[in-house]
Amino acid sequence: MTARISSTGLWTPPNSISNDELVGSYNAYVEQFNTENAISIENGETEPLNPSSSAFIEKASGIKARYVLSKDPILDPKIMEPRIKERSNEEISVLAEMAVWAGRDALEKAGRAPEEVDAVIVACSNLQRAYPAIAIEVQKYLGTSGFAFDMNVACSSATFGIETARGLIAGGQAKSVLVCSPEICSGHLNFQDRDSHFIFGDVATAVLLESEDIAPPNSWEIISAKLVTEFSNNIRNNFGFLNRTAPDGVGKPDKLFVQNGRSVFKEVVPMVADMITKELAANDIPPESLKRMWLHQANINMNNFIAQKVLGKDADPTMAPVVLDEYANTSSAGSIIAFDKHNDDFKPGDIGLICSFGAGYSAGLILVRKS
């Protein structure tokens, strides 16, 4: 049974932080650090911290703002972390709640009742707890049928989730699968790290896949999909359940997001451009017949390079729409936000591609045609 994408859903947190607000807080922290350590800096024992800059952030990444669950504590130079109140086991967990909101949006857009969904996959970069699976909690609070499970392929979680859902439908396990990607990136971002404090934002997306016999007439045919991984330490977070077995390392910066951004840029751009070019060729789709590329939203310059390599010319914003200016990098959700917000002009037969890339390295490509 062939699967189609019937709808998408989006939940955006209410609080936005501009570059100027974030840089203001970071620079206040720098000033405080350099003042408190003035003697040690003068003796050459401590490296002074350098200020951050909004102009650098926008030029290097294209990011202008980001949405977050918790704004004020991130901007408080004495805290510089989100604060999200712990909930009792009787309350819905925050990650599941975001997934439910995005999931409801997707179901409403497709005119579906929750019980018509046979499976929920929560596919995201960071799961709130070890167990029970967040997806099973989403199943309970949404009221969906069948089964649910979590998966994590970092930034490529949503595209790998879509392809997994397609496999479940093709294999007869389900006729309708909801792939939710709740991303609380602020929870694993080091806001005291100048190189990366500006990169991420929070959001949740959802994608509803259904077998072709029940999908609505205006759904999206999945022409083909390609998944690629190649191990790299250039984007890494060592937080995990074994940390307590090595107490010396607890709370160290490597237990949050760390990357070698320049290497990622250089290595991932050719990997992704090559994957897209080969997959288009394998499906006899000339690049010029593509109407849109809903690319991963990490860096606008990266996307421009990828689009340029695939198309052989500069891409205009309608070909590769940008949402990272408003949302920053939302890990696996980024390409789905772009797809959700920029597909109204598609006519039957128009072809586009959803493409993710990031930690792992991992890259996922979903080629779609509007029915």
Give the residues lining the site for ligand CO8 (CB under 6 A). Answer: 52-53, 56-57, 60-61, 125, 154-155, 185, 188-189, 194-195, 198, 200, 235, 257, 259, 261-262, 264-265, 298-299, 302, 329, 331, 358-359
| Cβ count within 10 A of residue 176 | 26
Quick one: 169 or 306, whose CB is closer to ligand CO8?
306
Q: Are 66 and 328 in contact (CB under 8 A)?
A: yes
User: Which of 150, 79, 159, 146 has the alpha carbon at shortest distance from 121?
Assistant: 150
Helix (H, G, I), strand (E, B) or coil at 328: coil
Helix (H, G, I), strand (E, B) or coil at 54: helix
Shortest gap between Cβ of 54 and ligand CO8 (angstroms)?
8
Ramachandran angles phi, psi of 113, nearest 5°: -85, 150
The catalytic residue positions are: 155
Quick one: 195 or 254, whose CB is closer to ligand CO8?
195
Count, in order, helices (H) and strands (E) of the chain: 11, 13
Give the nearest residue (CB) to ligand CO8: 358
Quick one: 200 or 220, whose CB is closer to ligand CO8?
200
Burial 238-252, CB ≥16 within 10 A → b, else e: eeeeeeeeeeeeeee
Shortest gap between Cβ of 26 and ligand CO8 (angstroms)?
7
Shortest gap between Cβ of 312 and ligand CO8 (angstroms)?
23
Shortest gap between Cβ of 300 and ligand CO8 (angstroms)?
9
Quick one: 294 or 346, whose CB is closer to ligand CO8?
294
How many residues in the chain?
371
| Cβ count within 10 A of residue 15 | 15
